[in-house]
Amino acid sequence: MLLAECGWCYAYVTSDFICFYLLTQEGIEKVREASPGGAGRNRTLGLKKLEKIEVPIPDFGKQLWFNQLQQKVADIKQAQLSNAVELEALMPSILDKAFRGELV
């Protein structure tokens, strides 16, 4: 949890939320604008310019809810990947049984 300056006040913000935002198209564009240099490998981002990037900060409770939602999505993606790997491993034996007429 971080304490961020919001103009005239301070608000709590989670690092997961900031990371998500900075990896959105809008966030990436703001980072690019704050990073001098012509080529991607020559771009640098100093702390002063990083601090000046404005990030929309919703209510802390909404951030926590959003972070939990993102974790659930990541868990589902991992489960789907595991299922796909298992199915890929089973496919040859299923096809073998199907061609021998052993599937019911």
Please say if the pLDDT value at position 51 is more than 70. Answer: yes
Q: Is 63 exposed, middle or buried (CB count within 10 Å of its CB: 0-12, 13-18, 19+)?
A: buried
Residues 68-102: pLDDT tens digits? 999 999 999 999 999 998 888 888 888 888 888 88
Q: Is 9 exposed, middle or buried (CB count within 10 Å of its CB: 0-12, 13-18, 19+)?
A: exposed
Which structure tokens are listed for 51? Answer: 């601090």
Residues forming a β-bridge with 6: 9
Please say if the pLDDT value at position 9 is more than 70. Answer: no
> Average model confidence (pLDDT) for the chain?
86
pTM attached to this predicted model:
0.66
